[in-house]
């Protein structure tokens, strides 16, 4: 890549003709040969930029790399990175082997036991609470079951969580939005308070947990591909924020898991219904374990085993001041403002791209927009007219 980057400008300098700089002394002139020469140089520079951008996108674009585990600057004695273990020295190999024995023979059995206890108690507890009629007692018992079992499950992951600005914790009747890395995000947040969940329907182990959760608390699960489910979610959200005594709703507007290095486009649906938005930034420390769930590569059980054989799950959670939609601000602008605030607080890269690109192809509208921008650049530099002449 470096070779291509260095090589291309040298070849591009030969496009048209090589023009000495002393012929462009009259830069202020807007007509005549000097102006035309300056425009030609600007056109060549723009062409260089476009070609280099294309090469960078081929080698490593800024979108698809967000859907795989983050590469570490230094190895953390795990095989969780994209590059498997490589022999370095006998001493380091012995340390790694010792770490494998500790993680798989000591920590893993204890963690599996805690996870089994936590999930079993959760399924049994929510099933029993779900038999009660809706009342303040049922809500109280539901919160106790959720908090207790989620804390047990976090212990099963050796979770170490640092909460910041707890005075800004989401309040009842509000909407909590956060960046999304994995289903563990729900455990991390529910350890410090209960929420009404809104999310995609899953199968397998995740599906069992979802069906158990909805028995005790009015969570909302939907199928993203069904349009009628989307309308149902919007209706449910509007009804929820109308009751100020309901638990805050937890939503991940990105709609998919990102590797915790960036924040991608927030879907506007969550920001169209009004109400108070409580932003939350979640940042994991990858040195102790990889919390990112690559759902296209691992199922839930495989993912949990990878996490449980890591050293620990260490993360910071920042509660942020509540935000409301400003006068004259549309839903997209509001969503972008909230996203920017979360990215800044969590030290994440802000990207305008849709996380749906993880599974879907790039929309034709995006391609057409890039083509239009490139056409405008060529026309603006006068290159198109010169070619036609």
Report the pLDDT averaged over residues 235-261: 86
Judging by DSSP bridges, how do beta strands 349-350 and 220-222 pair with one another?
A: unpaired
- Structure confidence at residue 388 (pLDDT): 41
- Structure confidence at residue 285 (pLDDT): 92
- Structure confidence at residue 229 (pLDDT): 67
- Structure confidence at residue 226 (pLDDT): 61
Percentage above 70 pLDDT, the chain: 74
Q: Is the pLDDT of residue 71 over 90?
A: no
CB of 76 closer than 8 Å to CB of 287 = yes
The dihedrals phi and psi of 318, each to the nearest 5 degrees, come to: -110, 115
- SS3 of 318, please? strand
Write b or e for each residue in 265-297: b if 16 or more Cβ atoms lie within 10 A of its Cβ, otherwise e. bbbebbbbbebbbbbbbbbbbbbbbbbbbbbee
Euclidean distance between CA atoms 13 and 33, whole angstroms:
19
Confidence of residue 43 (pLDDT cuts 50, 70, 90): low
- Structure confidence at residue 178 (pLDDT): 96
- Structure confidence at residue 387 (pLDDT): 46
Burial of 8 (0-12, 13-18, 19+ CB in 10 A): middle
- Average pLDDT of the chain to the nearest whole number: 80
C-alpha 270, offset from chain centre: 16
Confidence of residue 1 (pLDDT cuts 50, 70, 90): very low
- Structure confidence at residue 57 (pLDDT): 53
Q: Is the pLDDT of residue 246 over 60?
A: yes
Report the pLDDT averaged over residues 101-117: 95
Kindly state the tokens that stand for 359. Answer: 């599974």
Kindly state the tokens that stand for 165. Answer: 């600005």
Euclidean distance between CA atoms 300 and 289, whole angstroms:
16
Highest-scoring range by mean pLDDT, 188-192, 212-216, 323-327, 383-387: 188-192
Euclidean distance between CA atoms 230 and 120, whole angstroms:
31
CB of 308 closer than 8 Å to CB of 214 = no
Kindly state the tokens that stand for 233. Answer: 């979610």
308 dihedral zone (left: phi>0; alpha: psi -120 to 50; beta): alpha
Q: Any idea which of 7-16, 163-172, 360-369 has the lowest mean pLDDT?
A: 7-16
CB atoms within 10 A of CB 382: 15
The per-residue DSSP string of 173-216 comes to: T-EEEE--S-THHHHHHHTSS--EEEEE---HHHHHHHHHHHHH
- Structure confidence at residue 10 (pLDDT): 44
Percentage above 90 pLDDT, the chain: 42
C-alpha 322, offset from chain centre: 20
Q: Any idea which of 173-187, 242-256, 271-285, 351-365 has the lowest mean pLDDT?
A: 351-365
Report the pLDDT averaged over residues 320-325: 94
Report the pLDDT averaged over residues 375-381: 67
Euclidean distance between CA atoms 230 and 276, whole angstroms:
21
Kindly state the tokens that stand for 288. Answer: 């102790």
Report the pLDDT averaged over residues 379-385: 53
Report the pLDDT averaged over residues 68-95: 71
């Amino acid at each position: 890549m470096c070779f291509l980057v260095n090589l291309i400008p040298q070849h591009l300098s030969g496009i048209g003709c090589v023009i000495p700089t002393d012929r462009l002394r009259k830069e202020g002139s807007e007509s005549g040969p000097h102006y035309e020469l300056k425009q030609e140089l600007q056109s060549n520079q723009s062409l260089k930029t476009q070609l280099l951008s294309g090469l960078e996108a081929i080698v490593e674009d800024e979108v698809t790399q967000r859907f795989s585990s983050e590469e570490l600057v230094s190895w953390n004695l795990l095989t969780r990175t994209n590059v498997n273990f490589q022999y370095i020295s006998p001493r380091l190999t012995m340390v790694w082997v010792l770490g494998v024995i500790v993680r798989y023979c000591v920590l893993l059995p204890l963690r599996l036991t805690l996870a089994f206890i936590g999930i079993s108690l959760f399924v049994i507890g929510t099933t029993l609470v779900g038999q009660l009629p809706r009342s303040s007692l049922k809500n109280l018992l539901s919160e106790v079951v959720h908090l207790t079992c989620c804390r047990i499950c976090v212990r099963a992951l050796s979770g170490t969580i640092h909460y910041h600005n707890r005075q800004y914790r989401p309040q009842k009747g509000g909407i909590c939005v956060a960046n999304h890395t994995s289903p563990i995000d729900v455990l991390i947040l529910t350890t410090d308070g209960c929420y009404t969940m809104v999310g995609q329907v899953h199968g397998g182990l995740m599906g069992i947990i979802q069906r158990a959760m909805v028995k005790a608390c009015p969570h909302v699960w939907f199928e993203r591909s069904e349009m009628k489910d989307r309308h149902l979610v919007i209706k449910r959200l509007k009804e929820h924020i109308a009751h100020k005594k309901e638990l805050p709703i937890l939503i991940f507007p990105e709609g998919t898991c990102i590797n915790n290095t960036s924040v991608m486009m927030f879907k506007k649906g969550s920001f169209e219904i009004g109400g108070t938005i409580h932003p939350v930034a979640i940042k994991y420390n990858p040195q102790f374990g990889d919390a990112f769930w690559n759902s296209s590569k691992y199922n839930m059980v495989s993912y949990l085993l990878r996490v449980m054989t890591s050293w620990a799950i260490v993360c910071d959670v920042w509660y942020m001041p509540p935000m409301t939609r400003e006068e004259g601000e549309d839903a997209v602008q509001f969503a972008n403002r909230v996203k920017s605030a979360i990215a800044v607080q969590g030290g994440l890269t802000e990207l305008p791209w849709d996380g749906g690109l993880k599974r879907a192809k790039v929309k034709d509208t995006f391609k057409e927009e890039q083509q239009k921008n490139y056409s405008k650049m060529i026309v603006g530099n006068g290159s198109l007219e010169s070619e036609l002449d």
